[in-house]
Structure 1
Amino acid sequence: MTRLLPYGSWPSPISAGLIVEHAVSIGEVAVGTDDVWWSELRPQEGGRVAVVRHRPGGEQLDVLPEGWSARTRVHEYGGGAWWLHDDALFFANWADQRLYRLDGHGSPRPLTPEPPRPGADRYADGRVTVDGRFVVCVRERHRDGAEPVNELVALDAHDGGEPAVLVSGPDFVSFPRLSPDGRRLCWTQWNHPDMPWDATELWVAELEERSGSLALAGARPVAGGPGESIFQPEWVADGSLLFASDRNDWWNLYRLPAAHLDATTDSGSPPEAEAVVVVDGDIGVPQWVFGLSRYAPLADGRLLVACARDGVDHLLVAEQTAGGWVTHPLDTPFTAISAVHAFGEGAVLVGASFTVEPSVVVASIPAGGGSIDVAHLRPPRRLGVDERWFSVPEPVTFPTADGEQAHALLYRPTNLEVRAPDGERPPLVVISHGGPTAAARPQLNLTIQYWTSRGLAVADVNYRGSSGYGRRYREALAGRWGIADVEDCTAVASFLAARGDVAADRLAIRGSSAGGFTTLCALAFHDVFDAGASLYGVSDLEALARDTHKFESRYLDRLVGPYPAARDRYVERSPIHHADRIGCPVIVFQGLEDEIVPPDQAEVLVAALRAKGLPVAYLAFEGEQHGFRRAETIERVLEAELYFYGRVLGFDLADPVEPVEIENL
């Protein structure tokens, strides 16, 4: 018989300790000669990124020695920090950002020179030539008094040395990919003020060896340009080039035959690409990090494709027939898919669902569609919790303030042992995701389950500007950041309260990074929420425009307006200038080594709220950057946020947690 307890006061086996215990975040996947490698970010090891190798027969081992971490700071968000050639591992080490090579079980040895200061030269997104002689990768060079320079470089894969510059001039470069015959290199590039999901170009050049290093000849654009985003170019064995493009609103898949690429050498005009996979769904995702892979050419010539549609990832297989390309849906147990690569006769990928954490699996792909068979290489963590404890999200489409539509995932309170008294409505936590060009991911999120199992409802909002709904939906935030996203977060709270799903007088909103900005704007400019939590959130748009890192230094041109020409708009939308309008309790979490949103943004905001006499709590963490990675930090933040909600929304916690000092309460 279930007990009756008020919402928020339910006991739960999903503790903060359980969430971080043996927790890992699976990153990229690579395929070796006959084995599979992947990376794991491990909070229990201080946020170290380990590289794991799974050999035939099931042997699994950590490749990097203790103390080494494969993590790069290019663009500050990183990704693409390691790659393979046969059994050799190439990786950027977190501590000094130099590029290293590791053969077998020996010690890593540096390939790149020691820069003037640690981290001044950073490397990412590399590949090794077919003959194993050279590495081609992205380098980001930092020198005092100048904007960092992003280039494609080449260096000796065995002896290293000062890299030779292959591509210089564009503000940003990514996806350097070598053709199977070693003749060509492709890459994407873009310039300020665009972000890679706004406008990118795909370039191709011939590779030549000169004076013991590599050089390029005949470099030319073959796709992309203003209003078009190119994502993940991949060569095929026949010399053709695949890429995802959102030229028709959705990131769909296109192909440039080898003959067309040859023709551009003479004509100088971009070739026509043939459409391969055309669906109302996004194959591409915003390129916040390097090393992303959403599709793969299989050994038999078919293409395996992950595609986001209606907030859920689907798996498709495309095959070429006499009448053109035909696409078939595949049945999978997954709702979120990443790191798709060919392996043997099938593929390897990372898959997750609403009730299962991400795992690395090998998949066999049936002809003509149908159900895939999967074998786990890196199974999901055993939580020891019945899946029935997990709240399964309900897609919600709701009207916006200006008559459009936005989307969210609604998680209802779920508990196997207790329920709330009849007629009571649960508190609601609205999540405004970061980016803002990111998305509420359709996979098991234990932080959300931490709240729902205790009797809180959660709305994870895909406000206008989120990815996974096509380019037009992403661009709906252009010029309206701090307005449209905020309206959507307030609208979903009002919508669910009016529908009777949640308590209208116990509404909270929380967000991290750009989502923290949306959260603070919602508190400053709307009177809907009763509490707010900002995790390393933006409070001062001017400071962000002036002081942030290169990758995002012109991001706000499109989201807000060019700075300083549009300074009045920046001031008007910055919560720091309107803290007097915030009328509810706020808790702020901040990493003290954050270079994307520096700590002073949080500290100035907290001081303003403190001076106003508003209930406020501030927790700052030494050694944390933009995004918390240490187990002890993650655990403390979870418990502190729950404690805060309990105090200000009026419910008692079932389990004791370390109290948080809430000033002015």
Structure 2
Amino acid sequence: MLTGVSPYHFSQLQFDGSNLYWVEEMPNEGGRNAVVCFDCYGQTAPITESPYNVRTRAHEYGGRSYVVHEDTVYFSNFADQRLYRQKRGEDPIPVTAPGPLRYADMVFDARHRRIIAVREDHRVSDIHAETTLVIIDPQGDEYGTPWVSGHDFYMHPHISEDGSRCAYLAWNHPQMPWDGTELWLADISSEGELINRRHITGSAADAILQPTFSPGGVLTFLSDRSGWWNLYQWVNDDAQAVFPAPYEFGMPPWVFGMTSYGYLNEDRILAVYTDGGIRHLAQIDVKSRSLTEWHLPYTYFDSPAVRDSGHAAFIGASWHSPVAIVNLCVARGTSEVIRPSQVAPMDTRDISVPVFQPFPAAESQQAFMAFYPPNNHRFTGPDHELPPLIVISHGGPTSTGTPLFSPAIQYWTTRGFAVADVDYGGSSGHGRAYRNRLRGQWGIVDVDDCTRAALYLADQGVVDPQRMVIRGGSAGGFTTLACLTFRDVFRAGASYYGVSDLAALARETHKFESRYLDSLIGPCPEREEIYRERSPLFHAERIHAPVIFFQGLDDKVVLPEKSQMMVEELRHNHVPVSYIAFPDEGHGFRNADNIERAIQAEWYFYSRILGFPLPEPIEPVAIDNLP
């Protein structure tokens, strides 16, 4: 059940005329990304074919990696990071020259027949790569021509429909874009030059996101100046709230091109927002400052794209069905799936639907989690036993849990585990004050909240306190290892490419995150003693619970040798430990076979540590030091 099935991942929806395009990740093709088109005749077909992989390495996490104009797709190819152009049924043609440069966040300037993009130049240095906005000739251009420079980072350039103005975001180290950004606005001359360029709003304490222009040219953006990411319009040199509310209309931009709203017409906006951990889709009336929610059969919404006042599309999911591309008929208020990610591989009677609940955190505060009880209609646990618990610590750490149908979570709940997906202090989706709880406290608040979530559920009598484990990837892997190091609550843990040496992460990671830890811990090396104090690698002798490690050997964010050092420390300390490496994976696994191998290995590991029999044969995992 739920093995051998890897749902396609969708992102980057955009219309070109009546045709809808998106990027589709295909785990059964090694995680290759393809641009796919749903045309005006109702036909769906990929535009880019193997071996082309539509993915940029800008910021390492990538994001918006293509743009479409007049049926021509311009995309970044992962293997060489060059830009290509391609029409349906034709071969791709290189646009940019070979070289250590990366392109992202492309927009097409129709008035001047050119592409505007964020360029990351690695010719001199990786960790100090130079980021600029560049102009690219779509017919062929060596590396593009710098258009805007001077800041450490740029994101989300947007050009008004008449081509007369450009807005973009900029920020500098040590800020992250969810801490604070600057919104810049400029006029574009008839020759295509930027004139009257000015910083209009945004600061180190105001994170501006997703600037765009309305059909009539009103600059619109998200700002969290109120404590929540709300929509604003720039009118008469002032930011005016469109619909002020304690909702999050934005999420931290870990990747380029994230969108949560679009104009249906001058007076109506289609927007996604988060309230209480749940995503909603709504229509906002700009004149009346009112919001009307769309009541559709989904509990998760993402990446809305608007074609015109009557038609839009979004990524949707529910607790009972995985993500899909959904077409929205605005006039009728109806929706239709145009691209499912998979046929649900399980009986709906087995799906565990979570309960979102707060739980007590330190200092009389509260944190949040989604609790999934075990559920399998064919099996019932012994009357005298409580289920084991898996606590999930999400990555980021400025991110959130998984508020939608997740095969990875259902894998565990159908096998008798309860799951707690924890939004510890510092998570997104709950306002800026909650996000700021992790400032200076990474390795403290997250560890405390994940531990308290487990103990809270044990105190409620819904899970077995003697069979609680924790798992997480990347930053969540750090929290997992820190919980095992500095707390004595969990019987075992699984670290997926987890951080174990915080100072090494600050020194060796890529440019985008190279100063991230300034806010999460403190400046390095000035506060290096705190980095060492919170790093599991330097306190591995305190880990007594068994741990299984998963690591991609092409990981440029968490270097493989750090995971290998943790494994050697546990081996030396006679702690049961397993290590599985995937040579063809980076930071996050994309290959379907590797994803399946990892989760089955984790299940096998827990069966040996917690002492339960497996109902089906699974390839064994070598566990060193297991009695």
- Distance in 2 (CA, whole Å) between partners of 1:649 and 1:452 is 16
Equivalent of 1:143 in 123, 126, 133: 123
Equivalent position SS for 1:273: strand
Which range moves more in the overlay, 272-281 or 92-101?
A: 272-281
Aligned residue for 2:285, secondary structure, equals: strand
Residue 46 of structure 2 is aligned to residue 80 of structure 1: no
The partner residue of 1:427 within 388, 410, 417 is 388
Distance 1:555 1:283 in 2: 23
Q: CA deviation at 1:34?
A: 1.0
Q: Tell me, what secondary structure is at the counterpart of 2:246? A: coil
Q: Which residue of 2 aligns with 1:490?
A: 451
2:179 corresponds to which residue?
198
Tell me the CA shift for residue 527 of structure 1: 0.5
* 1:150-185 C-alpha deviation (Å, 9 max, x unpaired): 110002122334411111111100000011110111
Pairing of 1:567-586 with structure 2 (within 5 A): 567-586=528-547
Q: Does the aligned pair in 2 maintain the 1:336–1:441 contact within 8 Å? A: no
1:343 aligns with 2:327: no
CA contact (8 A) 1:233 1:243 kept: yes
Aligned equivalents of 1:468, 1:336: Cα separation in 2: 13
Kindly tell me: are residues 295 and 611 of structure 1, through their superposed partners in 2, closer, same or farther at Cα, counting changes over 3 Å?
Answer: same
Aligned counterpart for 2:610 among listed residues 649, 653, 659: 649
Deviations 1:271-290 (A, max 9, x none): 21111022211011000001
Output the amino acid matched with 2:22: W
Q: 1:121 aligns with which of 75, 79, 101?
A: 101
Q: Does 1:333 align with 2:333?
A: no
- The aligned counterpart of 1:318 is 284
For residue 589 of structure 2, give the secondary structure of its aligned residue in structure 1: coil
Q: Could you tell me how far apart the structure 2 residues matched to 1:159 and 1:97 are?
A: 15
Cα drift, residue 385 of structure 1: 2.2
Instruction: For 1:494 and 1:162, locate their aligned partners in 2 and report how far apart those are by CA, in whole Å.
Output: 55
Cα distance in 1 for partners of 2:143, 2:469 equals 53
CA contact (8 A) 1:51 1:64 kept: yes
Give the paired residue count. 624
| Of 18, 29, 44, the match for 2:13 | 29
Q: Retained in 2: the 8 A contact 1:592–1:599?
A: yes
Other structure's SS at 2:363 match: coil
* Offset at residue 207 of structure 1 (A): 1.6
- Structure 2 SS opposite 1:603: helix
Percent identity of equivalent pairs: 44
Q: 8 Å contact 1:110–1:160 — kept in the other structure?
A: no
Q: Distance in 2 between matches of 1:560 and 1:137?
A: 33
Contact kept in structure 1, 2:214 and 2:266, CA below 8 Å:
no
Show CA shifts across 1:242-285 (max 9, x none).
1010000000000013xx3xxxxxxxxxx211110222110110
- Secondary structure at the aligned position of 1:619 is classed as strand
The aligned counterpart of 1:130 is: 110
Stretches of structure 2 lacking an aligned partner (at least 5 in a row): none
- In the alignment, what sits opposite 1:273? 239
Alignment partner, residue 266 of structure 1 = none
Deviations 1:193-229 (A, max 9, x none): 010000101101112355xxx4311111112112010
The CA deviation at 1:300 is 6.2
Structure-2 separation of matches of 1:299 and 1:57: 24
Which blocks of at least 5 consecutive residues in structure 1 are unaligned?
1-12, 261-270
Paired amino acid for 1:203: W
Query: Is this contact kept in 2: 1:90–1:99, CA < 8 A?
Result: yes
Alignment of 1:47-62 (within 5 A): 47-62=31-46
Q: Deviation string for 1:607-629 (max 9, x for gaps)?
A: 00000000000001101000000
State the Cα distance separating 1:129 from its structure 2 match.
Answer: 1.0
Who is 2:330 aligned against? 365
1:66 Cα shift? 2.1
Counterpart of 1:532? 493
Per the alignment, residue 521 of structure 1 pairs with 482
Shift in alpha-carbon separation, 1:654–1:317, aligned structure 2, 3 A: same
Partner SS, residue 541 of structure 2:
helix
Alignment of 1:24-423 (within 5 A): 24-115=8-99, 120-131=100-111, 133-145=113-125, 147-208=128-189, 210=191, 214-257=192-235, 260=236, 271-299=237-265, 301-321=267-287, 324-344=288-308, 345-365=310-330, 372-423=333-384
Q: What SS is found at the alignment partner of 2:561? A: helix
Deviates more, 1:430-439 or 1:400-409: 400-409
Given that 2:22 and 2:37 are in contact with CA atoms closer than 8 Å, whether structure 1 keeps it comes out as yes
Flag the 1:384–1:542 CA change in 2: closer, same or farther, 3 A: closer
Q: In the TM superposition, what is the alpha-carbon distance from 1:380 to its structure 2 partner? A: 4.0
What's the offset of the Cα at 1:588? 0.4
Letter in 2 for 1:330: W
Note closer, same or farther for the CA distance 1:220–1:509 as it changes in structure 2 (3 Å cut): same
Could you tell me which amino acid in structure 2 is paired with residue 612 of structure 1?
N
Task: Measure the CA separation in 2 of the matches of 1:451 and 1:443.
Answer: 15
CA distance in 2, matches of 1:101, 1:108: 6
* In 1: Cα distance, 2:39 partner to 2:378 partner: 43
Question: Residue deviations 1:541-571, cap 9 Å, x none?
Answer: 0110110000000000000000000010000
| Structure 1 letter corresponding to 2:526 | A
Deviation at 1:100, TM superposition (A): 0.9
Q: Distance in 2 between matches of 1:616 and 1:164?
A: 52
SS of residue matched to 1:40: strand
Q: 1:573: Cα distance to partner?
A: 0.2
Deviations 1:413-435, CA, capped at 9 Å, x for gaps: 00011101212100000000000
Q: Does 1:633 align with 2:585?
A: no
Q: Give the SS at the match of 1:51.
A: strand
Shift of 1:315: 1.4
> Matches of 1:423 and 1:462 in 2, distance apart?
31
Equivalent residues of 1:52, 1:62 under 8 A apart: yes
- Contact 1:356 1:380 survives alignment (8 Å): no
* Offset, 1:346: 2.5
Cα distance, 1:387 vs structure 2:
1.5
SS in 2 for 1:292: coil
CA contact (8 A) 2:216 2:266 kept: no
- 1 CA distance for matches of 2:325 and 2:563? 38
**Aligned-residue CA RMSD in angstroms?**
1.3
The CA distance in 2 between the partners of 1:452 and 1:402, in whole Å, is 32
Q: How does 1:462-611 map to 2 (within 5 A)?
A: 462-611=423-572
Aligned with 2:571: secondary structure?
A: helix
Higher relative contact order, structure no. (Cα contacts within 8 Å, ≥ 6 residues apart):
1
Q: How far did 1:386 drift?
A: 2.0
Contact 1:100 1:111 (8 Å CA) reproduced: yes
Give the Cα separation in 2 of the matches to 1:144 and 1:256: 38
Deviation of residue 327 (structure 1)?
1.6
TM-fit CA distance, 1:383: 2.7
